[in-house]
Structure 1
């Protein structure tokens, strides 16, 4: 989802995932904080002021595990709240 052209993007990375809301809740439960935008966009801010390369590597690993394992597919992560 994030444009590859440096001039067209800011300091965030966005992914499309059909079950993005539930996945974002599962990620938040594991300490990876992002933002969900309907219908299927998961956004993550990246700033060198408070994130370093190890933080990014850890977050990428958690995102991969949550998505690949289906850890997001639990009732408590599917329950919609007013905000993510």
Structure 2
């Protein structure tokens, strides 16, 4: 498994409840692609959302996000952490 950070844009005005609902939608189906979404962060002013996951591939992450209704604009591998 590898770590990935994905970015969603265009979500201005997102509330804490909206973020939790989107995260829960991912969690509900993540196992179908062997993905685990660890955490999500949002900046409602800029409309940017970040998600950290463990997954077999960036494509698996995107498939879950697409099915949950919020396709990622970018997905980046995270090969090093401290």
TM-score (norm 2): 0.39
In terms of fraction of residues, the more helix-rich structure is 1
Q: Which is greater in Rg?
A: 1
In terms of fraction of residues, the more strand-rich structure is 2
Structure with the bigger RCO (C-alpha within 8 Å, sep 6+) is 2
TM-score (norm 1): 0.39
